[in-house]
Amino acid sequence: MLDSTRRDARSRIAPAGLMFLAITSIGWGLNWPVTKFLLTELPPLTLRGVTGVLGALLLATIALLRGDSLRVAPGIWPRLLIASVLNVTGWMVLMGLALLWLPASETALIAYTMPIWASIIAWPVLGERPTLLRTIALVMAFAGLASIMSGDGLAGSAAKLPGIAMALVGALGFAVGTVLSKKYPIQLPPITAAAWQVGLGCLPVAIASFVLETAHPALVTPFGWLLLLYSVTMQFCAAYVCWFAALARLPASVAAIGTMAVPVIGVVASAVTLHEPLGVREIAALIFTLAGVALATR
């Protein structure tokens, strides 16, 4: 049994962890414009749940081809289920519902308060005392997001309170899942762990989609099918595998701060592919956020 609280070489910054974190950030960042386009062709629960289940099946197939076992020891099931709910189900469902009350930009700003909660939770749970550089990194990263949001702001009207609450709960849940994955590691091969977490997390979303939504696959365009293939293979396969691999090699707070690049990548990718605005605010956000990530990894 691994002692995840032991302060050894694993608490240091591993180059492989940074590589995996970069792949995760790029995959999840590019998925913002991909998802935005696909929501014009498929309802949200169908899009997130069904593609997630397909991604989990693909991951399970890859694991078996590699000779990895899909067997889960009885003692691992509780932490596996908790991680699936916090890191997959809660994040996708709550952020999706928050969009019913909030603009996407405001939802993204609230969602990526997650590194703050992870850093706070990691201190008492993991003993990862925040360093000065990581504190500055958080400030710079949030300055980058503030640059993106400076023209919109958060309206504190009562009509938006449900969306704000859902986005905050989703961000807090993901932060808790990130820290618990370090405190109580899921001792499975990375691809097997990803297959189970994505599958268990997306299955209830897929079931809900069949009950609550009506999808029309015949109306999906060829380009839409291509993007669905990307969503299954990159977002739910490669990116999640790399995320769990990064968590195994990096301090939880550093891994969380690294995800701050995701919304910036999403903004830039949306500007290129969807012709959304990319001006001084967006460029400043890119500089601040990536500078913050660089400080966090020192």
Percentage of the residues of the chain whose pLDDT score is greater than 70: 83
The greatest distance separating any two alpha carbons of the chain, rounded to the nearest whole angstrom, comes to 54
Q: DSSP secondary-structure letter at 12?
A: S
Which pLDDT tens digit goes with each residue over 119-146? Answer: 778 888 887 777 787 778 778 777 766 6
For 251, the token pair is: 């301090």
Q: How confident is the model at residue 47 (pLDDT cuts 50, 70, 90)?
A: confident
The mean pLDDT of the chain is 80
Read off the pLDDT of residues 224-270 as tens digits, 9 standing for 90 and up.
999 999 988 888 788 878 887 887 788 876 776 777 778 778 778 87
More confident residue, 102 or 86: 86
Distances (CA, A) of 222 to 67, 218, 219: 34, 10, 9
Write down the pLDDT at residue 288.
Answer: 77
In single-letter form, the type of residue at position 49 comes to G
The whole-model pTM stands at: 0.74
Predicted confidence (pLDDT) per residue in 21-42, tens digit: 889 889 888 887 888 888 888 8
Q: Which pLDDT value is given to residue 89?
A: 92
